[in-house]
Every structure is written in C-alpha cells, then in structure tokens.
C-alpha cells in the first residue's frame, strides 16, 4: 500500500478511520484525495472483530461515502456506482450513525430525464419550452422523479446531465424531419422545431451509446429506431394503403386493437384479452433497427411497440401514448414496468459492485 501519512498508523491501532478523516477536514481544511489503495486500507483497517452478524464490515458503507464525495479526483468506481452508493447512504436512516450496523436498503427513487418541446419566438410571443403534464405525472405515479431537460446546444452539457440520471423518457411530439436521414420531405410531414430535433437526436445518440434505460413514446420511439439504424414510413395511407386508420382528425380519442408478442414486457402489462390503444399518428416504423424486436402490432401490421433484445440494455418504445388522457388505467402499468426495471438494474449493480469491493479489499 506504500508509505502512509502518520495519521494512518493511528487508524490501524483501532480508532475509526472516519474520525481521522473528520479531523483532517475540520482542522486542516485541505482537499483530501483517497487513492484506491487507501480506500482498500480504509475498509480493512478498522478494529479487529468488528463484524456484522451477516459478515459485512460495519465501516464499509461510510467509507464508501467518503471515498466517493470528490469530483475530479474520483477514481476506482464508475460514476454510476458512485451515485448508487451515495444514494444508499443519503436515504438510509441508519447511515447517519457510527458505527454502522445492519443493512442498507435502496430507498431512493430513480431520476428520469425527459426531453422538452420547444417553440421559437413568433411576433410578440417569446420562445418557450414545455412538456405535457401526462409524462411527468406518469413517472411520479410509477415511483420515479422526473427531470425535464430543455433543448441543450452542447453535447458535453447533455453528457453532464445524463451523468445524474437513472433513465430517460423520449416524449412524443411532431414529426422527425426525414431530410436529416437522407429522405425527401413528404408534404404531410410537420417537422419538430429544428432546435428540439437537433437536441433530441443528440440526446438519443448519447443515451443509446451509454445503454441507459430508455422509454420512447410516439416520435420518441421512432427516434430510437432511427438512431439505432432503422427507418420510417413517412405517411401510412400512402406507404400502406390497406392499413387501418391510425389518425382521425375529428376524433382525438381514436383507438384500434393491438396484438402483443407473448413473453414481452407489454405482454406482462396487458396479458390476455382484447386490447385497444389510442392512435394519433401518420408516420410509423418501417424497418426495425438491429437489436430490437417488434413486441406490438396493429392487426394491419403497423408496428406499435418495440423492445431491445440485448440483455444489457433495458429499452422499449410504444407508438401509442400511455400517458395521454385517452389512455386506459392498464396503459399506466407500462410506466410501472419501466421504473421497476430501472430499480432492479440499480439493485443488481449495487450487488455486483459490493462483491467487487469485497474482492479488492
């Protein structure tokens, strides 16, 4: 472990390492950086015999908290892992007391980022950004914390925002501009505001590269598909003349039936029986991106739901809108599945990293 400062010897003789660090902060007022070997020493350098009934070390979690409280000097644990451990400490009533005894449960809510729509200034109306309330209310009801992301211009800024999120929801809106993907602009296409589309495409690219938990709704699902290499039907009535109506200008609550792939997430949500979902779109997925499976279709063959086939990426999309006021109570369970899946992933990473910490120590 190399040469240690004099105060390390005190910690070795039985005084808690936490007290040593506290004195350092209170009296020396200097930045304190713990390299990885020092972190391992922290965990094993506490009084002999101080073990919990389950075999865990009573100082392990507090030491992790101290180890992960620094910014540029952080080493040894991934950003996601550091956030997980800090979250466990912050939301545990037991973590405020030393020595630590018992186990810590994951009690925090996952933070879900969602993109915001944008309207450019027009006349006397200033530019503004907004999100339909159904999106963030659905996240709240499912047990998550929504964080609205305005259309940022710099990819580095988006990266920094993503560092603090547990998942992303791509909301619905107008149409993607097919010219950005090398296609001609169909006269029925009403593109998103250019600023929003530029931001959405950058956000989706980074989220997909990171394999962050992702849920796309409406144009959000279409963007997922395009980002990962798929393409779109630009106007269903022309591209699929035999298709059922998927949009009715006179009926905002227009619905059609849905066929679900057995064993999929949507199958867990809806189960057996006839299913009808809202429908207000004229574009749709044509070729599905590699790595994704079609998990819901209209009887006419139009794709209404996709899910990632990769075991290390929790991603899904729906063409219909489970957050809308025209949705059913059953549709809301898709958000429950999304949030529950993120929580399960967080718990799994906690266990994997705690095992890695034990091996290092």
**DSSP string over 74-98:** --SS-HHHHHHHHHHHHT-SGGGSS
Q: What is the pTM of this model?
A: 0.73
Mean pLDDT per 10-residue section of the chain, whose length is 361 residues: 45 51 48 39 41 44 38 42 48 37 58 97 95 98 98 97 98 98 95 98 98 98 98 97 92 93 95 90 98 97 98 97 95 97 89 70 60
Decide if 155 contacts 121 (C-beta within 8 A): no
- Tokens representing 167 are 């998942």
> What pLDDT score was predicted for residue 350?
79
CA–CA distances in Å: residue 108 to residues 90, 202, 215: 8, 28, 20
> What pLDDT score was predicted for residue 67?
36
d(CA 69, CA 33): 10
> What pLDDT score was predicted for residue 107?
54
Dihedrals φ, ψ of 174, to 5°? -75, -155
> What pLDDT score was predicted for residue 94?
35
Q: Are strands 292-297 and 303-308 parallel, antiparallel or unpaired?
A: antiparallel
- CATH placement of domain 111-341: 3.40.50.880
Decide if 169 contacts 217 (C-beta within 8 A): yes
> What pLDDT score was predicted for residue 272?
84
- Tokens representing 344 are 């399960």
> What pLDDT score was predicted for residue 151?
97
Using the structure block, give the residue that is written with the tokens 């199958």. Answer: 267
Q: Which long-range contacts (CB under 8 A, 24 or more apart) does 55-61 make?
A: 56/103, 58/99, 58/100, 58/101, 59/16, 59/17, 59/18, 59/99, 59/100, 60/100, 60/357, 61/85, 61/88, 61/89, 61/95, 61/100, 61/104
Residue ranges covered by each domain of the chain: 6-106, 111-341
d(CA 198, CA 187): 21
């Amino acid at each position: 472990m190399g040469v240690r400062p004099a105060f390390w010897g005190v910690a070795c003789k039985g005084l808690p390492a936490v007290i040593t660090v506290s004195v350092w902060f209170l009296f020396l007022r200097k930045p304190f950086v713990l390299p990885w070997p020092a972190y391992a020493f922290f965990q094993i350098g506490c009084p002999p015999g101080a073990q919990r009934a389950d075999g865990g070390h009573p100082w392990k979690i507090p030491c992790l908290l101290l180890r992960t409280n620094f910014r540029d000097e952080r080493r040894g644990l991934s950003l996601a892992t550091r956030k997980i451990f800090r979250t466990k400490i912050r939301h545990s009533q037991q973590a405020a007391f030393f020595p630590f005894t018992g186990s810590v449960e994951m009690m925090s809510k996952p933070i879900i980022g969602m993109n915001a729509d944008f309207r450019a200034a027009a006349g006397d109306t200033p530019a503004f950004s907004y999100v339909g309330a159904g999106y963030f209310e659905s996240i709240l009801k499912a047990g998550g914390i929504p964080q609205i992301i305005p259309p940022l211009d710099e990819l580095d800024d988006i990266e920094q925002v993503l560092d603090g999120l547990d998942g992303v929801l791509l909301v619905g809106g107008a149409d993607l501009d097919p010219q950005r993907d090398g296609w001609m602009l169909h006269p029925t296409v009403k593109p998103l505001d250019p600023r929003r589309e530029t931001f959405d495409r950058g956000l989706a690219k980074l989220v997909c590269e990171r394999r962050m938990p992702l849920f796309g709704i409406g144009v959000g699902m279409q963007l997922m598909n395009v980002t990962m290499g798929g393409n779109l039907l630009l106007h269903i009535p022309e591209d699929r003349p035999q298709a059922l109506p998927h949009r009715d200008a006179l009926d905002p609550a227009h619905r059609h039936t849905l066929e679900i792939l057995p064993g999929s997430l949507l199958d867990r949500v809806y189960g057996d029986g006839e299913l009808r979902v809202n429908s207000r779109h004229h574009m749709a997925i044509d070729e599905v991106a590699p790595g994704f499976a079609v998990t819901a279709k209209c009887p006419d063959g139009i794709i209404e739901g996709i899910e990632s086939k990769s075991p290390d990426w929790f991603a899904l999309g729906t063409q219909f809108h489970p957050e809308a006021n025209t949705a059913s109570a059953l549709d809301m369970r898709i958000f429950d599945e999304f949030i529950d899946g993120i929580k399960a992933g967080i718990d799994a990473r906690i266990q994997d990293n705690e095992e890695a910490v034990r091996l290092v120590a």
